Amino acid sequence: MSSPPTRCARPLKGATPVDRRSRIHGVRAVPAAACNGRSVHAEPPAKGRIRQAQEAAILRAAEQVFARCGFAGATMHDIAQAAACPKSTVHYYFGTKEALHRAVLDDILATWLAGTEALLPEADPREALTHYLRHKMQLAFTRPEASQVFANELLHGAPQLSAALQQDLRALVQNKAAVIDGWIAAGRMAPVDSTHLFFSLWAMTQTYADFEVQVAAVLGTARPLPAAAQARAVAHVEQFVLRACGLTA
């Protein structure tokens, strides 16, 4: 068996483990070598952590390159440079540019939906919705490239994510909408269309990533938005949503 590829540099800021992809539709993170017929043995904990760090660094680099160049304009060479590792390492872990692009999309969707774990029947509606909103707003400010890559995928008809959106995302939204409907039935929040509430939440939060240029121009601030402008945006979105749901103090 060939020796492993050269180790990548320290992951980029905000890197997230590739294993988050499994939260959406069961994608298991394995090196591309496993898809080429090689046997893959269980790795010692230290090597497993190194592998996860390498994959996370490549994912974040690819996210930034795809956002800047689009899928057609991005190259594996550019992504390797952004991740500070050899191009062979990128191919080793993800195989092709198409597979890496899909992995980036899966990671974005899983990361965005991570905040929905707070939406449970026994949870306080105000606290749960606030948790999810803050999670999405933080991602809009810290990972705007993720939103841009995802939006570009949807604008092109979701060629890679169509099945995941129609099956896994739909099932998750149905589940969480049922939780919200339960809160409404119990008189714990005002009546709203629970499914369309998610569309509104996504639109309100992701606009700060997709249209940051416009937001900064209208506010007369620098980019990225300074802390005070971010706090103002978060407070507005929270107040707007909680008021619509009858959850203001």
Domains and CATH numbers, the chain: 18-105 (1.10.10.60), 119-244 (1.10.357.10)
Judge whether residue 49 has pLDDT over 60: yes
Mean pLDDT of 188-201: 98
pLDDT at 43: 60
pLDDT digits 0-9 by tens, 88-105: 999 999 999 999 999 999
Residue 48 pLDDT: 85
Copy the structure tokens of residue 160. 């890679």
Which is nearest to 82 in space by CA: 15, 29, 5? 15
Q: Distances in Å between the alpha carbon of 220 and those of 141, 216, 227, 245?
A: 17, 6, 14, 31
Query: Which tokens belong to 96?
Result: 């092709």
Cβ-based neighbour number of residue 124 at 10 Å:
14
The arithmetic mean of pLDDT across residues 204-224, rounded, is 97
What are the tens digits of pLDDT across the range 141-152? 999 999 999 999
Using alpha carbons, select from 216, 248, 225 the residue that is nearest to residue 125: 248
- Percent of the residues in the chain that have a pLDDT greater than 90, as a whole number: 79
Place of tokens 């800021």: 13
pLDDT (mean) for 5-12: 40
Instruction: Return the CA Rg of the chain.
Output: 20
pLDDT 10s digits, 103-142: 999 999 999 999 999 999 999 999 999 999 999 999 999 9
pLDDT at 214 over 70: yes
pTM of the full predicted structure?
0.79
